Amino acid sequence: MTLSFFKYAKRGLIFASMILVSSLVCAAPDPEVQEFWMAHDEQSTIEVSHDSWQDLLDKYLDADHESGVNRFAYEAVDKADRKALDDYLDSLQSLDPRTLAKNEQLAYWINFYNALTAQVVLDEYPVESIRKIRFLTSPFGPWDKNLVKVQGKKLSLNDIEHGILRPIWKDARIHFAVNCASIGCPNLAEEAFSASNTEELMNEAASDFINHARGVEINGTVLVLSSIFDWYGSDFGNNQTEIVGYISQFFDGDLSKLEAIDQVEYQYDWALNKP
């Protein structure tokens, strides 16, 4: 789908941000590639097994298609499955992702991020929000703390997202694929990512989020967007007009309503994505 947005500039479109989190938290890291992880092998036939992660999703993820919000039953995870998650993450750390084909790498890193986020929450559960999980090296949430080591390199959640996924793939749909354990976040996918399904799952994730009220909502002439489009705006376009143009690619609603907006607000719900 395409739209002509030139008239927004004529109207002097007002962009207002709802202050839901502190300015420090909202200052999302810029993508800065970690060169070590750029290597890949397109001749590789290695397929990484994500079966253990899929088993956990099948057992504990409640995909509520009526509400459109997937919730993970952290409280229900038993000791055996907690160990299965730890073992899965250990198995990912034992690999050298640079020996994988690039599509296999992408699935590896997305699943790694999502499973690691689940582990972080489970380590501190019960907790009402992932933002409440803080460390000396990561006082505004767990994202800056080194949590794993791959090929001798210590990695945090921010390293995976902003040092690997965003700068290497340069695909805004990654924001809809990685999950930060919050209601306001795009859903934790029901399927583990793989080289064969990643393209489909990312398109599905983008469409699901953009067509849900926590992603995009139109109230008269006010467009209410997820703060993701504010924090990572440069990934979706060079300006707000291009961001709205990006949204239109997946928007299933009345496109004429997007043309009629004259104000944009942002919102985000940091409550834990539990049942």
What φ, ψ does residue 149 adopt, rounded to 5°?
-135, 125
pLDDT value of residue 115: 99
Q: How many helices (H) and strands (E) does the chain have?
A: 13, 8
pLDDT value of residue 138: 84
The Cα-based distances of 248 to 10, 128, 170 in angstroms read: 20, 33, 19
Concatenated DSSP letters for 219-255? ETTEEEEETHHHHTHHHH-SSHHHHHHHHHTT--S-H
Q: Which residue has the higher pLDDT, 19 or 109?
A: 109
Assign residue 101 a region: left if phi > 0, alpha if psi is -120 to 50, beta otherwise?
Answer: beta
pLDDT value of residue 110: 99
H or E element in which residue 155 lies: strand 153-155
pLDDT of 20-40, one tens digit each? 333 334 468 999 999 999 999
Q: For strand 148-150 and strand 69-72, is the pairing parallel, antiparallel, or unpaired?
A: unpaired
pLDDT value of residue 4: 38
Lookup: tokens for 68: 């459109």
Mean pLDDT, residues 262-274 taken together: 96
Provide, rounded to the nearest whole percent, the portion of the chain with pLDDT above 70: 90
pLDDT value of residue 23: 36
The Cα-based distances of 99 to 40, 50, 92, 262 in angstroms read: 6, 17, 13, 49
Its pTM surpasses 0.75: yes
> Quick count: other Cβ atoms within 10 Å of Cβ 215?
25
Q: What is the CA radius of gyration of the chain?
A: 19
pLDDT value of residue 19: 35
The C-alpha angle with vertex 142 and arms to 137 and 146, in degrees rounded to 5, equals 60
Mean pLDDT score across all residues of the chain? 91
The letter for the amino acid at 132 is K
pLDDT of 63-100, one tens digit each? 988 899 999 999 999 999 999 999 999 999 999 999 99
